[in-house]
């Protein structure tokens, strides 16, 4: 639910709590349920998912396929049944390979989302509880400690030696030291030292913070909305194949017309005979096996990348990577998300010690 924008960083702690009709003991379960219905779940909205039928039909959206379908129709009406069935089989194989790869990638991405279930420590009825982060609402009081991923935008109300890593929003990998002072209204997000932001991490200390925004209303949610508005352009591979298909189509049509003109006007063939020969030459000039070859090559590339733990949602993406000359990044935080993990420990006179664990989560095992 869209709320008017309020500069919570410019309000005192008591002012923020009053504005959100909350206190340091947290909300009651009944009030939290009521606000969840009002504000919605604390999740970033996603684009509408495409169903299997749409994904299947989208495989036909190719200039190559259009030419093949046209060739199949012409072959059928002129009695070239063998050519008709060959082209239809090629189109079907091409479509099913593309559909299988894209649908499998979508399912893999959905499976990854189900695995990642984020929790938040929150005060409800004055008691500290651990709840799914998606159930947070404005007015909830969060308890944050070192290593926690911050689950919503919040105003700090109490803290001790508290700092957060906000590289996902500001690009700055150095932890931002926090305070609870009242700040000016017209300052940038990075300078709002009394606030914490969804998707960032606690670097040091502990704090209590009151949730001021959830889901799409968070700072990271605004970025997600801007990203969705970016128009998707055709990949390098799609542009090249469309251009090739158009060139081949023009050459095939021009060649067939030339054959018809020479045969009918200069060689004196009967109209019915030269028409059949012209159509046959048009069909023969279109390489119906090319789309299948291209899709198989791309599928092999996607399969090889999946062996390296890289999920390819659209097959042409595997070819597009081949034309990348330079990858430009500003700092390691862009790539690592500042979640470095100890994997092995070497001690003098000791065998190699293997450490298990993941990122900022304070859980793991040590094997000697």
Which of 144, 243, 180, 256 shows the shortest CA–CA distance to 10? 180
- In degrees and rounded to multiples of 5, residue 62 shows phi and psi of -150, 140
Q: Is 330 a catalytic residue?
A: yes
Which of 158, 156, 151, 144 shows the shortest CA–CA distance to 203? 144
Distance CA 249, CA 120 (A): 59
**Contact criterion met (CB below 8 Å) for 196 and 144:** yes
Q: How far is CA 2 from CA 42, 213, 335, in A?
A: 13, 10, 32
- In degrees and rounded to multiples of 5, residue 165 shows phi and psi of -95, 115
Q: Which residues pair with 130 in a beta bridge?
A: 121
Distance CA 10, CA 20 (A): 14
**Contact criterion met (CB below 8 Å) for 314 and 306:** no
Distance CA 179, CA 77 (A): 78
Residues 6+ apart with CB under 8 A from 178: 156, 159, 162, 163, 164, 193, 194, 196, 207
- Give 230's DSSP letter: S
Catalytic positions are: 330
């Amino acid at each position: 639910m869209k709320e008017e924008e309020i500069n919570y960083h410019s309000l005192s702690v008591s002012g923020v709590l009053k504005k959100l009709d909350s206190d340091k003991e947290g909300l009651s379960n009944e009030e939290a349920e009521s606000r969840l219905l009002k504000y919605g779940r604390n999740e970033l909205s996603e684009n509408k998912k495409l169903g299997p039928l749409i994904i299947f039909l989208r495989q036909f959206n190719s200039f190559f396929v259009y030419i093949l379908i046209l060739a199949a129709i012409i072959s059928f009406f002129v009695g070239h049944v063998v050519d008709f069935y060959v082209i239809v089989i090629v189109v079907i194989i091409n479509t099913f390979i593309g559909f299988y790869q894209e649908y499998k990638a979508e399912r893999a991405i959905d499976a990854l989302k189900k695995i990642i279930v984020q929790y938040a420590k929150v005060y409800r009825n004055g008691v500290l509880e651990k709840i799914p982060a998606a159930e947070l609402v404005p007015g909830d009081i969060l308890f944050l400690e070192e290593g926690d991923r911050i689950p919503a935008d919040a105003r700090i109300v109490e803290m001790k030696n508290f700092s957060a890593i906000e590289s996902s929003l500001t690009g700055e990998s150095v932890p931002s030291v926090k305070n609870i002072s009242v700040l000016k209204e017209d300052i940038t997000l990075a300078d709002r030292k009394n606030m914490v932001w969804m998707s960032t991490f606690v670097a040091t200390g502990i704090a209590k913070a009151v949730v001021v925004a959830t889901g799409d209303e968070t700072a990271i949610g605004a970025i997600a909305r801007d990203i969705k508005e970016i128009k998707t352009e055709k990949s390098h591979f799609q542009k090249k194949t469309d251009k090739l298909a158009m060139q081949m189509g023009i050459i095939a049509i021009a060649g067939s017309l030339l054959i018809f003109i020479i045969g009918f006007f200069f060689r004196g063939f009967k109209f019915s005979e030269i028409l059949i020969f012209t159509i046959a030459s048009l069909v023969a000039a279109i390489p119906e096996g090319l789309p299948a070859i291209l899709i198989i090559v791309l599928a092999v590339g996607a399969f090889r990348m999946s062996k390296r733990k890289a999920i390819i949602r659209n097959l042409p993406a595997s070819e597009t990577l081949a034309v990348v000359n330079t990858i430009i990044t500003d700092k390691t935080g862009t790539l690592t998300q500042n979640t470095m993990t100890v994997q092995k420990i070497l001690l003098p006179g000791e065998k190699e010690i293997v450490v298990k664990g993941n990122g900022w989560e304070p859980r793991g095992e040590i094997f000697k």
